Amino acid sequence: MSTANTTTKNRHLELIGIGLIALLILVVLPVWLDAFRLNLVGKYLTYAFVAVGLVLCWGYTGILSLGQGIFFGLGGYCMAMFLKLEASSVANTKIQSTPGIPDFMDWNQLTHLPFFWVPFKSLPFALIAVIAVPSLAAFILSYAMFKRRVGGVYFAIITQAFAAVLTILIIGRQGYTGGINGITDLRTMWGWDIRTDGAKEILYFACAFLLIGMMFLARFVLSSKLGRILVAIRDKEDRVRFSGYDVASVKVFIFCLASAIAAVGGAMFTLQVGFMSPSFVGIVPSIEMVIFCAVGGRQSVVGAVVGTLLVNYAKTSFSESFPELWLFAMGGLFIAVVLAFPRGIAGLFTDQVVPLFMKWKSARDGATPDATPAPAE
Amino acid sequence: MPKKPPTDLQSPLRRKLLVGTAAASAAAMMSSPQQAFAQTFPTAKVNTTGLAVTDTEVTVGILHSITGTMAISETGSVEAEKLAISQINESGGILGRKIKFIQEDGASDWPTFAEKAKKLLVENKCASVMGCWTSASRKAVLPVFEQYNGLLYYPTFYEGLEESHNVFYTGQEATQQIIAGLNWVNETKKARSFYLLGSDYIWPRTSNKIARKHIEGHLKGCKVLGEEYFPLGHTQFNSVINKIKLHKPDVIYAIIVGGSNVAFYKQLKAAGIDLSKQTLLTISVTEDEIDGIGGENIAGAFACMKYFQSLDNPANKKFVEAFQKMWGAKTVIGDVTQAAYLGPWLWKFAVEKAGSFDVDKVVAASPGIEFKDAPEGYVRIHKNHHLWSKTLVGKARTDGQFDVVYTTPDLVEPNPFPKGYQ
């Protein structure tokens, strides 16, 4: 079987996979689950955005980022800042010393809105910022690194450091950011109450459609010429550079794209969960997001989404059934996955299930010309 | 086999009920006290909002971190709540119904708290939830409790600035913990200068703000020499200790939390600051923390709380004995643990007064509810959902316990939005 043939086959598989995911999250889950569980799935789906981004930059380009929480968090914070300002109207905050500013600023003796909060009174600005701020951060970080040809483990460490720095900054400047409590008690978006069950359902579908859109975007990038350059960079970066490609720019682009996708997830998270806190920005959540992607299979967009859903489902159900032991169960699950199928669930599928299916199919195709197939014994 | 009716007749309702049943001729009603309760308080009547209440059982939630960094602090609260629930069940339950609890792990992660709170309210329909410890976790679950009209009993002393229809605060808000202690140290130790320290988050900052306003505005001739904050988990206190040595404040006022305490008190001792000569007042160290700090490192320091394990009263002796019987003889009981123990009891009293599990009725019945046999003494629910309680000052001993050196003569009124202190 030629390689080209396999690639087309895999592409078809991937399309079927996306179709199945769409069926699952748009039809099956909404019908099957109650409002509370559906909202939980909505939360998991926001992590899947990060995993899709990681497939692009880690699975295909070989850039391991242990700081995707930065971009998820920045996107979430941009959204939260807008929502918080809307919730902090003068009428809602009249018990404060300075009405009209978010409650945590008042607790920290701030008497006016800091300048960088002011533009977030506008929803269009906030929506642009959700993409622009994390992309800019990703650009600065990756441009500085990749232009100097810093890559691999060093880059992973630097993203981690950056995540730690940002967390400390947010916690330390609590008057401006809400500190360790985060930005809580978000209520409405342009007067639309986001806390009702109806609103949660609409946000769930918005999130699901956006995720499917991002999966197609990722597929589009990967199946383009750019996608092949990405794989080439992953496998032999120097050769691509010697062939005349500007490797650094390609890497910067894909890293920014992955970050922007993560940021959209962060904004959807804020909308669905109703708050944002530094616990999504730090090192631990960032690594957790890499694990979601690894469990699903880092070279498959579909696998990453499935992995995210499965791991989070396991996390919730283990912790509900065994509140005292669940962390051990999670640890065991990760070890088992990494030992048994290092390419994740998607790898398990393409390596084991697909060949079996092919064998069965070719056996059947081979058998059809026979008018009377042999008895099954 | 008819169950033997319990002999102790603590609850006024039980007494009323027994009078009622005696008057009734039906012998069948005497067959089981629970059945009798169920007939006096039919489920349809005591639960009109679809909570998890059956003829024999009522479900409550316990929501604390039992994994992650906060587990060490929150375990005591979980233990206290389970003890209170089992004691209530032994004495006949609430309106004839046994309490069944569902425990969830907040995992020291605020979003997880919000997720689990929602689960307890929406899926399990818990009639009330005992839970949370840090302010961050409370802030995360607060919108959930308000949206689904749940009921939360929150045990930790905290910064105030909050008053929710759906929350009862069984710990002290900041002014209850701070003002009496500062007055005491000002009068008995003739303290005139203070150095304020804290971990860097909302509770220490708000508390120090109140302390500073009180010192500068209400205590004659007193001043604050310095105020500093350290990130959570900070372990290098040498530079601030040098500053303290330079300024020689009459009082070090410390609101350092968690593991940082261990480093702080050890380094104080190593720097030659003798707490028997240098007055140190803290509002963040209980018996639980001393377990980690080591009694010899902190002996002589003063803590301002509303409860100490060494408190000498019959109710507390009984409580400590029952607690250690259930959780081991070496377990220590700190201020928050005792406050957590109050939660299920205060809820029980309010439910019985309301004659209903409905959240709005319980909330309406709560102001004025008294707990006369509370381990800390007598407490009463204020209409702002906090507790009237006394403030104590304790002096740390080398064995990790405190000697109570001062008790406010009266109950201190809770005031979560103190005028002039904001």
List the single best residue of B105, B145, B173, B230 to mutate versus A (max A Cβ within 10 A): B105
- Whether the Cβ atoms of residue B84 and residue B24 lie closer than 8 Å to each other: no
Q: pLDDT band at A371, cuts 50/70/90? A: very low
Residue A367 scores a pLDDT above 50: yes
Report pLDDT for B27: 41
Q: pLDDT band at B105, cuts 50/70/90? A: very high
- Whether the Cβ atoms of residue A138 and residue A255 lie closer than 8 Å to each other: yes
Long-range contacts of A316-325 (CB under 8 A, 24+ apart): A316/A40, A316/B115, A319/B104, A319/B105, A319/B107, A319/B112, A319/B116, A320/B104, A320/B119, A323/B66, A323/B103, A323/B104, A323/B105, A324/B66, A324/B67, A324/B105
- Whether the Cβ atoms of residue A282 and residue A268 lie closer than 8 Å to each other: no
Report pLDDT for B384: 95
In a domain, A55, yes or no: yes
Could you say which residues from 381 to 420 on chain B have a Cβ atom under 8 Å away from some Cβ of chain A? 417
List the single best residue of B202, B206, B257 to mutate versus A (max A Cβ within 10 A): B202
In a domain, A339, yes or no: no
Mean pLDDT of the B282-291 span: 92
Question: What percent of chain B has a predicted confidence (pLDDT) above 70?
Answer: 91
- The half-sphere exposure of A239 on its side-chain side, counting CA atoms within 13 A, is 8
> Taking all residues of chain B, what is their mean pLDDT, rounded to a whole number?
88
Query: What are the structure tokens assigned to B319, written together?
Result: 């409580």
pLDDT digits (tens, 9 = 90+) for A176-189: 998 888 998 898 99
> Which of B103, B200, B202 comes nearest A107 by C-beta?
B202
Cβ contacts of A327 on chain B, cutoff 8 Å: 67, 107
Closest CA to B390 of B302, B306, B303, B285: B306
User: Taking CB atoms and an 8 Å limit, are A279 and B110 in contact across chains?
Assistant: yes
- Lowest average pLDDT, out of A1-10, A42-51, A322-331, B60-69, goes to A1-10
Cβ contacts of B135 on chain A, cutoff 8 Å: 181
List the single best residue of A170, A279, A318 to mutate versus B (max B Cβ within 10 A): A279
B111 touches chain A (CB under 8 A): yes
Report the C-alpha gap between B155 and B171 in whole angstroms. 5
Report pLDDT for A103: 86
User: Taking CB atoms and an 8 Å limit, are A40 and B115 in contact across chains?
Assistant: yes
Question: What percent of chain A has a predicted confidence (pLDDT) above 90?
Answer: 56
Cβ contacts of B119 on chain A, cutoff 8 Å: 36, 320
Give the distance from residue B170's alpha carbon to the nearest chain A alpha carbon, in angstroms: 21
Could you say which residues from 205 to 234 on chain B have a Cβ atom under 8 Å away from some Cβ of chain A? 205-206, 209, 231-232
- Any bridge partners for residue B152, and if so which? B129, B167
Number of domains within chain A: 1
Report the C-alpha gap between B252 and B260 in whole angstroms. 16
User: Taking CB atoms and an 8 Å limit, are A275 and B143 in contact across chains?
Assistant: yes
In a domain, A18, yes or no: no
B114 touches chain A (CB under 8 A): yes
Report the C-alpha gap between A184 and A103 in whole angstroms. 10
Give the distance from residue A184's alpha carbon to the nearest chain B alpha carbon, in angstroms: 6
Query: What are the structure tokens assigned to A65, written together?
Result: 């980022």
Give start and end residues of each alpha helix (H) in B190-313: 202-218, 238-247, 260-270, 287-293, 295-298
Report the C-alpha gap between B237 and B270 in whole angstroms. 11
Sheet order of strands, B387-388 included: B370-374, B377-381, B387-388
- Whether the Cβ atoms of residue B407 and residue B392 lie closer than 8 Å to each other: yes
List the single best residue of B64, B112, B115 to mutate versus A (max A Cβ within 10 A): B115
Separation of CA A324 from chain center: 28
- Whether the Cβ atoms of residue A157 and residue A150 lie closer than 8 Å to each other: no
Length of chain B measured in residues:
422
> Which of B161, B201, B422 comes nearest A179 by C-beta?
B201
Give the distance from residue A17's alpha carbon to the nearest chain B alpha carbon, in angstroms: 29
- Lowest average pLDDT, out of A21-25, B87-91, B230-234, B297-301, goes to B230-234
A174 touches chain B (CB under 8 A): yes
Give the distance from residue B143's alpha carbon to the nearest chain A alpha carbon, in angstroms: 6
Mean pLDDT of the B273-287 span: 94
In a domain, A272, yes or no: yes
pLDDT digits (tens, 9 = 90+) for B143-186: 999 999 999 999 999 988 889 999 999 999 999 999 999 999 99
pLDDT digits (tens, 9 = 90+) for A234-268: 999 999 999 999 999 999 999 999 999 999 999 99
A340 or A142, greater pLDDT:
A142
Query: What are the structure tokens assigned to B394, written together?
Result: 């304790």
In a domain, A347, yes or no: no
In which domain, by residue range, is A234 found?
36-280
A326 touches chain B (CB under 8 A): yes
| For B420, nearest residue in chain A (alpha carbons) | A97
Give start and end residues of each alpha helix (H) in chain A: 3-23, 29-32, 35-54, 68-87, 103-107, 123-147, 152-172, 174-177, 197-223, 225-235, 237-242, 247-273, 283-296, 301-321, 326-340, 344-348, 354-367
Mean pLDDT of the A285-300 span: 89
Give the distance from residue B203's alpha carbon to the nearest chain A alpha carbon, in angstroms: 10
Report pLDDT for A357: 82
User: Taking CB atoms and an 8 Å limit, are A323 and B109 in contact across chains?
Assistant: no
List the single best residue of B101, B103, B110 to mutate versus A (max A Cβ within 10 A): B110
- Whether the Cβ atoms of residue A195 and residue B147 lie closer than 8 Å to each other: yes
Mean pLDDT of the A181-199 span: 89
Q: pLDDT band at B34, cuts 50/70/90? A: low
User: Taking CB atoms and an 8 Å limit, are B119 and A185 in contact across chains?
Assistant: no
Report the C-alpha gap between B298 and B278 in whole angstroms. 12
Closest CA to B85 of B96, B73, B97, B101: B101
In a domain, A316, yes or no: no
| For A325, nearest residue in chain B (alpha carbons) | B67
The angle formed by the CA atoms of residues A87, A93 and A96, to the nearest 5 degrees, is 140
Query: What are the structure tokens assigned to B81, written together?
Result: 């709540």
Query: What are the structure tokens assigned to B132, written together?
Result: 């949370």
Give the distance from residue B419's alpha carbon to the nearest chain A alpha carbon, in angstroms: 10
Q: What is the DSSP string of A199-225?
A: HHHHHHHHHHHHHHHHHHHHHHHHHSH
3-state secondary structure of B232: coil
User: Taking CB atoms and an 8 Å limit, are A274 and B143 in contact across chains?
Assistant: yes
User: Taking CB atoms and an 8 Å limit, are A180 and B104 in contact across chains?
Assistant: no
- Any bridge partners for residue A362, and if so which? none
A173 touches chain B (CB under 8 A): no
Domains of chain B, CATH where assigned: 57-172+312-388 (3.40.50.2300), 175-305+392-407 (3.40.50.2300)
- As a 3-state breakdown, chain B gives helix, strand, coil percent values, each rounded to 5, of 45, 20, 35
| For A40, nearest residue in chain B (alpha carbons) | B115
Cβ contacts of B139 on chain A, cutoff 8 Å: 181-182, 184-185
Closest CA to B93 of B59, B126, B138: B59
Report pLDDT for A1: 41
User: Taking CB atoms and an 8 Å limit, are B143 and A195 in contact across chains?
Assistant: yes
Residue with token string 């894909």: A254
A181 touches chain B (CB under 8 A): yes
Residue B134 scores a pLDDT above 60: yes
Give the distance from residue A214's alpha carbon to the nearest chain B alpha carbon, in angstroms: 25
Main-chain phi, psi angles of B189, to 5 degrees:
-100, 0
In a domain, A193, yes or no: yes
Query: What are the structure tokens assigned to B220, written together?
Result: 């004659």
Report the C-alpha gap between A56 and A369 in whole angstroms. 44
Report pLDDT for A354: 80
Give the distance from residue B403's alpha carbon to the nearest chain A alpha carbon, in angstroms: 34
Mean pLDDT of the B372-395 span: 95
In a domain, A317, yes or no: no
User: Taking CB atoms and an 8 Å limit, are B209 and A109 in contact across chains?
Assistant: yes
The angle formed by the CA atoms of residues B277, B281 and B285, to the nearest 5 degrees, is 120
Report the C-alpha gap between A186 and A193 in whole angstroms. 9
Report pLDDT for B38: 57
- Any bridge partners for residue B253, and if so which? B196, B281
- Whether the Cβ atoms of residue A76 and residue A49 lie closer than 8 Å to each other: no
User: Taking CB atoms and an 8 Å limit, are A181 and B201 in contact across chains?
Assistant: yes
Mean pLDDT of the A112-131 span: 94
- Lowest average pLDDT, out of A24-28, A335-339, B48-52, goes to A335-339
- Whether the Cβ atoms of residue B375 and residue B307 lie closer than 8 Å to each other: yes
Report the C-alpha gap between B304 and B308 in whole angstroms. 10
Report pLDDT for B8: 45
> Which of B67, B139, B147 comes nearest A327 by C-beta?
B67
Cβ contacts of A195 on chain B, cutoff 8 Å: 143, 147
Q: pLDDT band at B306, cuts 50/70/90? A: very high
- Whether the Cβ atoms of residue B111 and residue A273 lie closer than 8 Å to each other: yes
List the single best residue of A110, A184, A268 to mutate versus B (max B Cβ within 10 A): A184
B17 or B193, greater pLDDT:
B193
Q: pLDDT band at B30, cuts 50/70/90? A: very low
Give the distance from residue B30's alpha carbon to the nearest chain A alpha carbon, in angstroms: 39
Report pLDDT for A376: 42
Question: What percent of chain B has a predicted confidence (pLDDT) above 90?
Answer: 74
A280 touches chain B (CB under 8 A): yes
List the single best residue of A98, A167, A173, A277 to mutate versus B (max B Cβ within 10 A): A277
B100 touches chain A (CB under 8 A): no
> Which of A172, A180, A279 comes nearest B111 by C-beta?
A279
Q: Which residues of A296-318 are buried (b: 16+ CB within 10 A; e: fewer)?
A: bbbbbbbbbbbbbbbbbebbbeb
A70 or B420, greater pLDDT:
A70
3-state secondary structure of A271: helix
A35 touches chain B (CB under 8 A): yes
Mean pLDDT of the A39-48 span: 94
Cβ contacts of A280 on chain B, cutoff 8 Å: 111
Mean pLDDT of the A162-173 span: 91
Give the distance from residue B126's alpha carbon to the nearest chain A alpha carbon, in angstroms: 15
